[in-house]
Amino acid sequence: MIAEHGVRIWAALARRRRGLAKGWYKYSRNSLSVLGLVVLVLIGLTAGLAPYIAPYPEHAAAYTNFREAGLPPSKDHLFGTDRVGRDVLSRVIFGYRFSLLLGIVVLSLAVPSGVVLGLLGGYYNGTWIEVLIMRITDVFLAVPPLVLAMSIAAMLTPNLFNAMIAISLSWWPWYCRLVYSVTASLRNQFFVREAELTGASRMHILFKEILPNCFGPIMTKVTLDMGIAILMGASLSFIGLGAQPPTPDLGTMLADGAKRLPSEWWSTIFPALAIVMVILAFNLVGDGLRDVFAVEEV
Amino acid sequence: MAKYIALRLGQSIFVLFGLSLLIFFIARVVPGDPARVALGNLATEEQVQKLRAEMHLDRPFAVQYYYWLKSMLRGDLGKSLYTQRPVTTDLRQYIPATLELILFATLISLVFGQVTGVLAGYFRNSWFDNLSRLASYLGVATPSFVVAILLLFIFSQLLKLAPSVGRLPLMVKAPPTVTGFMIIDSLLAGRPDLTLLALKHLVLPAFSLAVIHIAQEGRITRSSLIENVQKDYIIAHEVHGIRPTKLVFKYLLKPSIIPTVTVMGLDFAFLMSNAFLVELVFFWPGFARYAVNAMLSKDLNAIVAVVLVIGVTFALVNLVVDTIITFLDPAIRIQRRGG
Amino acid sequence: MRIWRLLGVVAVLFAIGACCWVGAQGPAQNVAVINGYPVIWTDPAVASDWYDTEVMYNLYSPLVYPTPEGSVRPHLATSWAPVGGDLTHWRFELRQGVKFHSGNEMTAEDVAWSMTRFITMGRGNSGPLGKVTATVVDKDTVDFVLDKPSAIFPETLALFFPVEKELVLANIKKPGSYGELGDYGEEWLGTHDAGTGPYMMVSHIPGQSLEAVRFPDYFEGWTNDGWGPDEVPIERLIFIMETDYTTLMTLLKSGDLDLEINGGWTLPQLQQIKADPKLRLEYVWAQNVTVWMNTKRPPTDDEHFRKAVLYAYDYEAVVGPWAEFGNGETGIILPTMAGYVRIEPQPRQQDLAKARAELALSKYATGPVPPVVFHYCAGLSFEEEIGLQLQADLAKLGLTVEVAGPPWPQYSAECSSPETTPNMTIFLFAPQVAPPHDYYTFNMYHPNGLGWIFEAHWFFEDPEIIRLLELTRATVDFSERLQIYQQLQPMIAAHALAFYPYQKPTPFATQCYISGPKEKTNMVGPSENMHNWRINLAKKAGGC
């Protein structure tokens, strides 16, 4: 009995490892995706180790030195200094922390709520539950997410956390709809019917039978959306509805610096490139994942 | 077909109703006193109270919504607190500017997207194909306001090739407004010089908006081209010695129209929201800039109107795109008729 | 193929356009393009912000005109005096032969009706006037009866701009908020004017542009006394309302922009303008940067704590590079105003030892100190810079400052009660309420002052300050009043209700061929009255 159990676990692990190896093989065929992964890891490390890497970690917090304001790039300040004399490089490094934090918080709010609602909507296809959930989803999808996020952010006190809330509120419907369509198509599949007939609980059917089938598309979308969430966060900050000083936020830095173009270009261009890099990395990784899961689904 | 459109319209109206409720609610719970903001810094408390009563701000939410809905159905969206004019007047002034921008951006992305797509597909795996792939990745990853700032910096501020802000030079008197499209209005006024100026002003903002879509449409055209190039009928044509250009334009581009149109519909939403940021960078006196100002200054009526207009446009564009696709693709047409 | 033909036609059209475009240069035009802040309201009963007033002084004339020292002189009214001894009844003699832009002559009826309209609408600058009843005595005399005595009433009328009664009446829109009188002409006055000012409105797109032409029959005339021989009145004014200073810089450099009156330049831009021989910087009025400390909210409820902030702030740090553009010392009133008194801390520099000493005296000497919440208006980077500086300075004392910039509607709504006002709120007070001395004192420190953002310190506990403030409004003689103001300034400063980082002169950037203003006033408006400016067309055509 125990031995049988052990064999089963062993087989499952082996299968998973083989699956991973297969997945990695598919992923690594696209050299751009590998590059994206490398960049992403580097960015993650930079953000995680920011206090040790940044040349002037104190510049990310309350710090001003107007005597050194607006200095061009030099060996002391590789990216120059901004309008209150802070090192732009240090702030970009710390800025990554907040960008990643924003992406993670937004998705960990939006994905679970969207997924649960989507599962319910799809499973109770044709009932009032589906109608209620999906019509509300439609309302939230009736305007582009950025517009909705802006309207919501404008009503809250502007800060990083509220920006995250606003983006999450405009983001969950996309997951809801994604999971809904997968669930609705699986609703009448054999294995779901079978589970129902054997008397499995609703929870079991929704989360153990149906949800794993949504895993691939969700993972791919999450990775791609990390980039988009970061982009939306930067957009909100750019308008002034996001992070507040002295938080080193890439969008705020960009908005601030843009007023001082062209003379102090470094306080704009470097944060701009930093934003592009992190979004690009997430997109490349997302593309790679899409290759992996697309084949898996077939 | 008519039944399908009617059904879609009905759905849209329902959704827009929900949207108006949502936005109305959001706008009403914003902290800040719109009456105070509207009256300026030196207004007396008495006056503020009076305006609050006039705007029904002292009544419960449901009553406010009722009054709003009642006047909205009469085509009255209320008065903007910021510009002190009817919101509809403001919208009439600002929407064409944004539409001009978005349509021009669409045109740019269509032309450049098709050209790069065809070239990349034709010279598959060449340096051009790789470059366009790289550009497409970059294009998708770069927020449009970053593109806008970079273009502004390079072409306007460093190279001084293009003007930086507005629709016309500030000193030039605009032609009388007929359509609201500067390019058309200036031609109607017999001032092709102004058309040229307007175009010069349009190029950078439109490109900032279009970059993402050029990249995407290029990729779509390319993959559609590659997919179809292996089809039998193309090979047969090739064997018959039809010129490659004719082959591309007559037979190969056609199948890529459906995905392109679909993407264009989706793009419209993106163009619309990206216009919010690009208009800020280029000080484009358009709808999106008006919307941001309304949101930041708690201009209740304007916020609701702005979001509704976006919702309506969005719904209409989706409807049009779906209808076009139905016409273009016999398979879908039959499927819809059957269902 | 049809498409190619169409493209051909378009190409030809463009070619023609390009030719016209190249050949469009003409001789120097007598036009001044002026950049101001977006003006929405041009109804004199509604206009209130300082940038509205700037335009107002061109289209309308006030009853009395502000003088550089802070009092007023005759303008539409030639003389005035209180009737009876209790300062509630004032009689004004009007100038004869003043013409409205329509050509009609102004009468006491117009003035009285305008006052009634001003008070009834109760908007714009009418708040400080209280309830005024206007009556016509004869064609050139009008009486104003106030609801409370005021010695400064004539001076407050520097922001009262009479309109032409019949013209406005002919253009009211019904229904409106004022019953019989409809909207009282408010909508029409947004795109037209009914004034007596030196310029007549041609067009106005709210928030975008305003165009006006010279009014030849302006009652003060257009003589060239005191101006050079080539300096002629400006014929046409085009107010643009651009807020992107990179663009404005380009326009200024290319000569497309003649005058910029907002002064929102960045430091590098100002240095560039200063270095350009073709451009000129003119400092007219200054604004007082004020950081209120809410005396009803911990930890700024403690006087010693507030004094610690005063000493901890590094005044030099932010101002440093701006000093050459006039930013510097200020106090309760602006240093350029008559009767200015220097206030503590003196000298104005960071003194951490003194700050620590004050902190030790406060009730926050031991135990946890709540964070100091500092709010500024979103988008105003100089305000944010002061917040950041304070954040860095107070960190040296072990105190936390939370800096945030909510959008204006939220920010201003916070200041409606002591409970919701943050510990510190920063404002830029331009001398926009007449008379300026009263604005910076009574209106900012008396319980019956303007309240709200103007008194976000919420301190009204000192009876002696209140008594003296009331005395200023009961003193008719201006120089006597100045003495009271001088006495008041140190008394107010002793409570450390605010700190005043610096005064910010508004740099008007202008082309060398534009001269003016002939008279500089510590008030918004008179200096932007383009009657006070001239243009040199020869210089404009030939370069300076």
Best residue of A66, A152, A236 to probe chain C, by most C CBs closer than 10 Å: A66
CA angle A219–A225–A229, rounded 5-degree value:
145
Query: What pLDDT score does A135 carry?
Result: 87
Assigned domain for C73 exists: yes
Task: Note whether C368 and C490 are same-domain residues.
Answer: yes
CATH number for the domain including C217?
A: 3.40.190.10
Most B CBs within 10 A among A141, A143, A167, A273, hence the mutation to make, goes to A143
User: What CA–CA distance (Å, rounded) separates B318 from B327?
Assistant: 14
**Per the structure block, which two tokens stand in for C485?**
């103001």
* Pairs of residues, one from chain A and one from chain B, whose beta carbons lie less than 8 Å apart: 117
Q: What is the pLDDT of residues C376-393, one digit of tens each?
A: 988 788 898 899 999 989
Query: pLDDT tens-digit profile of A167-180?
Result: 999 889 988 988 88
Q: What CATH number corresponds to the domain at position C412?
A: 3.10.105.10
> Nearest to residue B20, comparing CAs of B56, B60, B57, B72?
B72
B193 touches chain C (CB under 8 A): yes
In angstroms, what CA-CA distances link B213 with B116, B216, B260, B267, B314?
12, 5, 10, 7, 17
Select the residue of B26, B273, B280 nearest A146 (Cβ to Cβ). B273
Q: How far apart are CA B258 and CA A218, in angstroms?
A: 26
- pLDDT for B80 beyond 80: yes
> Average pLDDT in the C336-349 region?
89
Tens-digit pLDDT profile for residues C221-255: 998 888 988 999 999 999 988 877 877 888 898 88
**Partner residue facing A158 (CB), from C318, C388, C406:** C406
B298 touches chain C (CB under 8 A): yes
Per DSSP, the three-state class of C347 is: coil
Do C305 and C382 reside in the same domain of the chain?
Answer: yes
Output phi, psi for C513, to 5 deg. Answer: -85, 0
The band of B330, judged by pLDDT with boundaries at 50, 70 and 90, is: low
Nearest CA distance, C47 vs chain B (angstrom): 8
CATH number, domain of C161, equals 3.90.76.10
Q: What is the mean pLDDT of residues B303-315?
A: 87
Residues in chain A with CB shorter than 8 Å from the CB of C377 are: none
B192: nearest CA partner in chain C: C17
Instruction: Please report the pLDDT score of residue C375 as a whole number.
Output: 93
What pLDDT was estimated at residue C115?
Answer: 97
Distance from CA of A146 to the nearest CA of B (A): 6
* Domain identity same for C395 and C448: yes
Kindly identify which residue of chain C lies nearest to residue A59, measuring between CA atoms.
C392
Domains in chain C, number: 3
Tell me what the mean pLDDT of segment C207-220 comes to. 92
Query: How close A60 comes to chain B (CA, Å)?
Result: 22
Q: What is the mean pLDDT of residues B225-247?
A: 73
- Domain closes at, from C150, C168, C186: C168
Give me the pLDDT at residue A3, please: 60
Q: Are C296 and C406 members of one domain?
A: yes
Mean pLDDT of B310-321: 84
In this predicted structure, what is the pLDDT of residue B185?
84
Each residue's pLDDT tens digit, B170-217: 667 777 777 878 888 888 888 888 888 888 888 899 999 888 888 878
B 109-148 near C (Cβ less than 8 A): none
With respect to residue C191, please indicate whether it lies within any of the assigned structural domains. no
Instruction: Supply the mean pLDDT for chain C.
Output: 89
- The 3-state DSSP class for residue C429 equals strand
Query: Residue A61: what pLDDT?
Result: 80
B307 in contact with chain C, both atoms CB, cutoff 8 A = no
Of C21, C122, C247, the CB nearest to B47: C122
Mark out the alpha helices in chain A (DSSP H runs): 2-29, 31-48, 50-53, 88-123, 128-141, 145-155, 160-186, 190-197, 202-203, 211-239, 250-258, 266-297
Q: Is residue C347 part of a domain?
A: yes
Distance of residue A151 Cα from the nearest chain B Cα, in angstroms: 6
Is B22 within 8 Å of A139 when comparing Cβ atoms? Answer: yes
Q: Chain B contacts of C6, Cβ < 8 Å?
A: none
Searching chain C, which residue's CA lies closest to the CA of residue A86?
A: C388
Judgement on whether residues C215 and C268 belong to the same structural domain of the protein = yes
* Residues C248, C301 share a domain: no
Contact B50 C413 (CB under 8 A): no
The predicted pLDDT at position A23 comes to 79
Answer yes or no: is pLDDT of B166 > 60.
yes
Say whether both C272 and C298 belong to one domain.
Answer: no
Q: Is there a single domain that holds both residue C145 and residue C232?
A: no
Task: Give me the interface pTM, i.e. the ipTM.
Answer: 0.81
Burial of C278 per CB tally in 10 Å (0-12, 13-18, 19+): middle
- Partners of residue A82 in chain C, C-beta under 8 Å: none
Nearest to A245 among C267, C387, C410 (CB): C387
Mean pLDDT in residue range C84-101: 94
B295-308 mean pLDDT: 84
Residue C70 lies in domain? 61-168
Among candidates C268, C320, C389 on the partner chain, residue whose Cβ is nearest the Cβ of A264: C268
> For residue C182, is it within any domain?
no
Q: Which range scores top for mean pLDDT: B19-23, B46-50, C76-80?
A: C76-80
Nearest C-alpha in A relative to B138: A280
- Each as own residue / partner, the long-range contacts of residues B61-69 (CB below 8 Å, 24 or more positions apart, any chain) are B61/B25, B61/B28, B64/B24, B64/B28, B65/B21, B65/B24, B68/B24, B68/B304, B69/B20
Beta bridge partners of C201: C212
CA nearest to A282, candidates B137, B282, B10, C85: B137
Report if residue C192 sits inside a domain: no
C228 and C290 assigned to the same domain: no
- Residue C259 pLDDT level (bands cut at 50, 70, 90): very high
Domain membership flag for residue C96: yes
Residues of C in contact with A261 (CB under 8 A): 246
pLDDT at B84: 72
What chain A holds in terms of domains, given with CATH numbers, is: 32-297 (1.10.3720.10)
pLDDT(C351) > 90: yes
Say whether C79 sits in a helix, a strand or coil: strand
- Residues of chain A with pLDDT below 70 are 1-10, 12-13, 294-298
Residue C494 lies in a domain: yes
Of the candidates C14, C121, C177, the beta carbon closest to that of B196 is on C14
**Above 70 in pLDDT, residue C20?**
no
**Is the predicted pLDDT of residue B339 greater than 70, yes or no?**
no
Query: C117 and C95 in one domain?
Result: yes
Neighbours of chain C (3+ CB pairs under 8 A): A, B
How far off is chain C from B134, nearest CA to CA, in Å? 32
Q: Which domains does chain B have, with CATH numbers?
A: 98-297 (1.10.3720)
Q: Is the pLDDT of residue C18 over 50?
A: no
Three-class secondary structure of residue C231 per DSSP? strand
Answer whether B297's CB lies under 8 Å from C407's CB: yes
Predicted pLDDT at C292 = 97
Q: Write out the residues of chain A at the interface with chain B, using a CB-CB cutoff of 8 A.
A: 32, 135-136, 138-140, 142-148, 150-152, 154-155, 157, 227, 231, 234-235, 238-240, 254, 258, 261-262, 265, 268-269, 272, 275-276, 279-280, 283-284
The Cα of A188 is separated from the nearest Cα of chain C by a number of Å equal to 51
Task: Assign C12 a pLDDT band (cuts: 50, 70, 90).
Answer: low
On the question of pLDDT at B98 being above 70, the answer is yes
Q: How confident is the model at residue C23 (pLDDT cuts 50, 70, 90)?
A: very low
Q: Is any Cβ of chain C less than 8 angstroms from the Cβ of A259?
A: yes
Query: Is B122 or A135 the better-scoring residue by pLDDT?
Result: A135
Check pLDDT > 90 for residue B109: no
- What is the rounded average pLDDT of the residues C448-476? 93
Residue C289 shares a structural domain with residue C264: no
Judged by CB atoms closer than 8 Å, whether chains meet at A246 and C388 is answered as yes
Give me B288's structure tokens. Answer: 């999106």
The secondary structure of residue B248, as a DSSP letter, is: I
Residues B109/B136, Cβ–Cβ less than 8 Å: no
The model's confidence at residue B269, banded by pLDDT at 50, 70 and 90, is: confident
Chain B CB contacts of A146 under 8 Å are 273-274, 276
Question: What is d(CA C227, CA C247) in angstroms, rounded to the nearest whole number?
Answer: 32
The pLDDT assigned to C218 comes to 96
Instruction: Give the model's pLDDT for residue B1.
Output: 67
Mutation choice for A interface testing from C391, C393, C420 by most A CBs within 10 A: C391
Note whether B204 and B155 are within 8 A (CB).
yes
Least confident piece of the model among B129-133, C209-213, C513-517: B129-133
Nearest by CB to residue C403, choosing from A241, A246, A261, is: A246
Report residue B338's pLDDT band, with 50, 70 and 90 as the boundaries.
very low
For chain B, give the percent of residues with pLDDT over 70.
Answer: 91
d(CA A182, CA A119): 9
Query: Is the same domain home to C256 and C366?
Result: no
Mean pLDDT calculated for residue range B222-250: 73
Residue A261: closest C-alpha in chain C? C246
CB A143 within 8 A of CB B314: yes
Q: How far is C258 from chain A (nearest CA, A)?
A: 22
Q: Half-sphere exposure of B18 toward its Cβ, with a 13 Å CA cutoff? A: 18
Measure the CA–CA gap between B307 and B311, rounded to whole angstroms. 6
Determine whether the interchain pair A159/C404 forms a contact, defined as Cβ–Cβ distance below 8 Å: yes
**How much is the pLDDT for C2?**
45
State the pLDDT at residue B128. 82
Helix (H, G, I), strand (E, B) or coil at C136: strand
DSSP 8-state class, residue A73: P
pLDDT value of residue A144: 85
Contact state of B43 with C122 under an 8 Å Cβ cutoff: yes
Closest alpha carbon within chain A to C319: A66
The answer to whether B273 contacts A145, with C-beta atoms less than 8 Å apart, is yes
Question: Does residue C415 lie within any of the structural domains?
Answer: yes
pTM equals 0.82
The interaxial angle of helices B87-122 and B127-141, nearest 10 deg, is 150
